[in-house]
Amino acid sequence: MVSFKNILLAISVVALIGFTVKSASKEESFFIALPTFETERLVLRKIKLDDLKDVLPILSDPEVTRYFSLERIAAQYLATTKKDFSKKGLEETKQQVVKEYQKDQEMPWIFELKDGKKIVGFGGFEHYDKDKKESFVYYVLDKAHWGKGYASETVKAIINVGFNTLKLNKIYAKIDARNIASIKLITKFGFSEDTQQTDSSDKIFFKQAM
């Protein structure tokens, strides 16, 4: 469901290197700026380099990552922490990250409690297709905050931004077939299963704009 390589790439872009795209479209500018917005109990904001200390423990919890690829997460983390931070190395890294970012058009929001600013998870859109105006939604929540309604709160807000701000035509969700809780959550918001899919390990759900 989640492309973890781009979580770490996003951290590098917005907090370590920084870049601008002079001719960005309105939609692309949204992904670059990634504005902050609020729900009843949470603030959803752009991820920062300092958030890594809170994000990595969430990803290291085997229950949280039960349906994710831990090997891929570990490999990307090692690659990120071994980057060359000389002037030349930073420029090369910048170009690499920009290419990856512009290719996939994705950026995560941090889910932060209004009361105490505790990070409870992250999520957002990935694989944004600006021609078809489609994207995938994803979300990851710290186990300590399961069962409190935060997943529903954030997913509802992200879907609302997708349809009403980005004007998406369709939003998808790719979920491991064993992840019953996530399937129940996404169908709660009117997503239907794509019965044409052939991958037995994952289910694809979608919701069309009204």
Question: What token pair was written down for 172?
Answer: 């998808």
Q: What is the pLDDT of residues 155-195, one digit of tens each?
A: 999 999 999 988 999 999 989 888 999 999 999 999 999 98
**What pLDDT is recorded for position 162?**
92
**What pLDDT is recorded for position 152?**
96
Question: What token pair was written down for 157?
Answer: 């807000």
Average pLDDT score over residue span 71-97: 50
Residue 74 pLDDT greater than 70, yes or no: no
Measured in degrees and rounded to the nearest 5, phi and psi for residue 142 equal -60, 135
Which has more pLDDT, 40 or 73? 40
Show the CA angle centred on residue 70, arms to residues 11 and 35, nearest 5°: 25
Q: Which residues are CB-contacts of 149 (< 8 A; sequence separation ≥ 6)?
A: none
For 50: left if phi > 0, alpha if psi spans -120 to 50, otherwise beta; the answer is alpha
Residue 148 pLDDT greater than 60, yes or no: yes
User: Under DSSP, is residue 207 helix (H, G, I), strand (E, B) or coil?
Assistant: strand
Of 64-68, 109-113, 123-127, 162-166, least confident by mean pLDDT is 64-68
Looking only at the bridges linking them, the beta strands covering 107-113 and 42-46 are antiparallel
Q: What is the pLDDT of residues 7-56, one digit of tens each?
A: 555 554 444 434 344 445 555 556 656 788 899 999 999 877 678 788 87
Q: How far apart are CA 201 and CA 176, in angstroms?
A: 6
User: Under DSSP, is residue 84 helix (H, G, I), strand (E, B) or coil?
Assistant: coil
- In the numeric block, the tokens 């290291």 are attached to 60
Q: How far apart are CA 101 and CA 115, in angstroms?
A: 32
**What pLDDT is recorded for position 55?**
82
**DSSP E strands: which ranges in the chain?**
37-38, 42-46, 107-113, 119-129, 134-141, 170-176, 192-193, 202-208
Domains and CATH numbers, the chain: 4-169 (3.40.630)
Are 124 and 137 spatial neighbours (Cβ–Cβ below 8 Å)?
Answer: yes
**What pLDDT is recorded for position 195?**
84
Of 49-63, 88-102, 147-161, least confident by mean pLDDT is 88-102
Q: What is the pLDDT of residues 114-147, one digit of tens each?
A: 998 899 999 888 888 888 999 999 899 999 999 9
Measured in degrees and rounded to the nearest 5, phi and psi for residue 9 equal -65, -40
CB count in 10 Å sphere of residue 12: 20
Are 183 and 165 spatial neighbours (Cβ–Cβ below 8 Å)?
Answer: no
By the 10 Å C-beta count (0-12 exposed, 13-18 middle, 19+ buried), 63 is classed as exposed
Which has more pLDDT, 106 or 181? 181
**What pLDDT is recorded for position 47?**
78
State the helix-helix crossing angle for 180-188 and 150-164, rounded to 10 degrees: 50
Average pLDDT score over residue span 82-108: 55
**What pLDDT is recorded for position 169?**
96
